[in-house]
């Protein structure tokens, strides 16, 4: 769930850039391989100098069932904390206190039960170099109860590819009972179906992308519903969001271009030069939906088992495409000539940029400012794996029949007045996009963290 919390935050100092998170990028090329001698980051300069500030954040990223009294704290060695933000999924911030020497921070009291939190910290060393740390965790729900964390946020405006994604605080064994207690309706009406990814994630989507202007209501009627023996839901809540303008862009990694398309007719707004994953770290193909945006973030190869290849603490204009770490992001350290000519990344889609994440004029900055969560990138390439549907908000890569088959209720009836939807497919790069997603090579396997569960570590600038 995304419960309303009675919280506020303490800012530690004015910060000229957004908070960063510990992330990375990964593509669809399989298990990472040791780099060859000439497999280095593009450009003669290499990665920027690393900050000496070393941040430690507790709890660890993706901790679940944390006791309300933690431990939750942030400490830094060889530096001072510039900013700490602890907030629930609605953005309500938790008050905390900074130590007198600026090297430690902790919340002022216990945290609410059954709540998902993000913890973001920024520190600065004596040379002004900044480091960032991110943790995403949830507190334990009351004994014998479960809650649902939801994406997107209540009251938000999203792109046409945004599904409804629910992650349950405890495994669900009676999926039919839980699914029956959740309804997703759209105005104007369209058929919406459910699909389970394992026992803790349930997503909903229509056959094709939402129509712009659609108003969606998610009715959670989980209170007293038994999801597993002795485990009962606690929520009676409505979540509402609005689908904004249509933006379905196409990425041709063979031509090294990203074509931004607007409106249901697919009008070309701008074509940008990109660099995708190299032959050893191919970028995922298929329909990829933007789930999160970070003006500045950290990418570390250790988060995907790639050793010490890189640790870039200030990757600008980063937008998450998968939980495993594929991003479209700015790149200021590479030779500008690679954009539009070569695929040189570790799996992400890179665009030319400048340091700081403040410019809206660079290609990456422009795309960042013109993108909202739920916008779609339809990625085509001659090599690379199709993204697993459970990896991020990318269930569009399942054909509709397979999607509906993942419902515990096998519901297929359309509501009165709902339009019938025909087959959908991803267009070839350069063609006008269809109103629907790509077909897939098959379903995803087993439970996988959803966007509602927060970011997972990954790598590849």
Q: How far apart are CA 229 and CA 222, in angstroms?
A: 15
CATH class as words, domain 22-39+50-138: mainly beta
Q: Which of 256, 237, 255 is nearest to 89 (CA)?
A: 237
pLDDT at 442 over 80: no
pLDDT at 252 over 50: yes
* Residue 391 token pair: 């990896």
Dihedral sign from CA coordinates of 313, 301, 251, 287: negative
Q: Which residues contact 143 (CB under 8 A, 6 or more apart)?
A: none
Is the CB of residue 298 less than 8 Å from the CB of residue 47? Answer: no
pLDDT confidence of residue 433 = 40
pLDDT at 74 over 50: yes
Which is higher by pLDDT, 306 or 1?
A: 306
pLDDT confidence of residue 376 = 98
pLDDT confidence of residue 149 = 96
Strand partners, 292: 320
pLDDT for 365-418, tens place per residue?
Answer: 999 999 999 999 999 999 999 999 999 999 999 999 999 999 999 853 444 334
Range 207-232 average pLDDT: 95
DSSP string, 318-354: EEE--TT--EEEEESSS-GGGTTT---BSSSEEEE--
pLDDT for 88-144, tens place per residue?
Answer: 988 899 999 999 999 999 999 888 888 999 999 999 999 999 999 999 999 988 778
pLDDT for 302-348, tens place per residue?
Answer: 666 566 776 888 999 999 999 998 999 999 999 999 999 999 998 99
pTM higher than 0.85: no
Distances 10 to 73, 93, 335 between C-alpha atoms, Å: 14, 8, 40
* Residue 314 token pair: 């200030």
> Within a 10 A sphere around the Cβ of 6, how many other Cβ atoms?
7
Q: How far apart are CA 319 and CA 371, in angstroms?
A: 9
Range 66-79 average pLDDT: 92
Q: How far apart are CA 121 and CA 182, in angstroms?
A: 36
pLDDT at 427 over 50: no
Res. 454 pLDDT band, cuts 50 70 90:
very low
Strand partners, 271: 259
Dihedral sign from CA coordinates of 370, 184, 209, 275: positive
Range 77-93 average pLDDT: 93
pLDDT confidence of residue 89 = 86
Res. 45 pLDDT band, cuts 50 70 90:
low
Q: How far apart are CA 190 and CA 211, in angstroms?
A: 9
Q: How far apart are CA 446 and CA 439, in angstroms?
A: 19
pLDDT at 49 over 90: no
Residue 205 phi/psi, 5-degree rounding, is -160, 160
Q: How far apart are CA 303 and CA 22, in angstroms?
A: 8
pLDDT for 258-285, tens place per residue?
Answer: 999 998 789 999 999 999 999 999 999 9
pLDDT confidence of residue 114 = 86
pLDDT confidence of residue 439 = 34
> Within a 10 A sphere around the Cβ of 48, how many other Cβ atoms?
15
Which is higher by pLDDT, 17 or 349?
A: 349
Which is higher by pLDDT, 6 or 85?
A: 85
Q: Cite the beta strand spans of 140-284 per DSSP E.
A: 145-146, 148-151, 157-158, 164-168, 182-187, 193-196, 201-205, 215-221, 226-228, 231-233, 236-243, 248-252, 257-262, 267-273
Mean pLDDT computed over every residue of the chain? 82
What are 441-445's contacts with CB under 8 Å, separation 24+?
441/386, 442/402, 443/389, 443/398, 443/402, 443/406, 444/197, 444/388, 444/389, 444/390, 444/391, 444/395, 444/398, 445/388, 445/390
Is the CB of residue 58 less than 8 Å from the CB of residue 73? Answer: yes
pLDDT confidence of residue 35 = 47
Q: How many degrees, rounded to 5, is the angle at CA 312 between CA 308 and CA 314? A: 165
Give residue limits of the domains in the chain: 22-39+50-138
Range 11-15 average pLDDT: 36
Task: Please give the DSSP secondary-structure letter assigned to residue 44.
Answer: S
Catalytic residues: 329, 348
Task: Please give the DSSP secondary-structure letter assigned to residue 277.
Answer: B
Res. 48 pLDDT band, cuts 50 70 90:
low
Distances 421 to 13, 101, 150, 192, 245 between C-alpha atoms, Å: 52, 61, 26, 11, 20
């Amino acid at each position: 769930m995304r419960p309303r919390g009675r919280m506020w935050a303490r800012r530690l100092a004015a910060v000229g850039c957004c908070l960063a998170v510990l992330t990375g990028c990964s593509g669809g090329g399989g298990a990472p391989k040791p780099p060859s001698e000439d497999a280095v980051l593009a450009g003669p300069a290499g990665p920027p100098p690393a900050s000496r500030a070393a941040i430690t954040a507790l709890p660890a990223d993706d901790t679940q069932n944390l006791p309300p009294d933690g431990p939750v704290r942030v400490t830094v060695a060889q530096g001072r904390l510039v900013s700490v933000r602890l907030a629930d999924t609605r953005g309500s911030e938790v008050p905390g206190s900074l130590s007198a020497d600026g090297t430690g921070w902790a919340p002022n009291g216990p945290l609410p039960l059954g709540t998902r939190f993000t913890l973001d910290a920024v520190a600065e060393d004596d040379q002004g170099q900044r480091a960032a740390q991110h943790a995403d965790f949830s507190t334990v729900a009351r004994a014998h109860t479960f809650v649902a964390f939801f994406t997107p946020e209540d009251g938000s405006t999203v792109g046409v590819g945004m599904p409804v994604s629910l992650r349950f605080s405890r495994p669900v064994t009676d999926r039919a009972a839980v699914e029956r207690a959740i309804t997703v309706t759209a105005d104007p009406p369209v058929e919406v179906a459910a699909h389970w990814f394992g026992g803790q994630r349930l997503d909903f989507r229509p056959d094709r992308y939402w129509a712009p202007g659609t108003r969606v209501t998610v009715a959670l009627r989980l209170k007293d519903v038994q999801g597993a023996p002795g485990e009962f839901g606690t929520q009676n809540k409505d979540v509402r969001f609005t689908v904004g303008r249509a933006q379905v862009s196409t990425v041709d990694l063979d031509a090294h271009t990203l074509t931004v398309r607007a409106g249901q007719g697919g009008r070309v707004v701008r074509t940008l030069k990109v660099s995708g994953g190299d032959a050893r770290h191919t970028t995922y193909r298929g329909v990829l939906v933007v789930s999160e945006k970070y003006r500045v973030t950290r990418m570390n190869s250790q988060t995907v088992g790639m050793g010490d290849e890189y640790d870039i603490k200030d990757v600008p204009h980063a937008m998450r495409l998968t939980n495993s770490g594929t991003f479209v992001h700015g790149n200021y350290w590479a030779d500008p000539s690679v954009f539009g000519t070569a695929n040189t990344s570790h799996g992400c889609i890179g665009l030319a940029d400048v340091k700081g994440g403040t410019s809206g004029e660079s290609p990456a900055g422009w795309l960042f400012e013109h993108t909202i969560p739920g916008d779609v990138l339809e990625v085509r390439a001659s090599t690379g794996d199709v993204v697993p549907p459970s990896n991020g908000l990318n269930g569009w890569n399942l054909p509709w029949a397979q999607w509906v088959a993942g419902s515990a209720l096998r519901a297929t009836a359309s509501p009165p007045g709902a339009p019938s939807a025909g087959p959908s497919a991803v267009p070839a790069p350069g063609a006008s996009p269809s109103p629907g997603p790509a077909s897939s090579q098959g379903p995803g396997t087993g439970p996988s963290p959803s966007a509602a569960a927060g970011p997972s570590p990954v790598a590849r600038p």
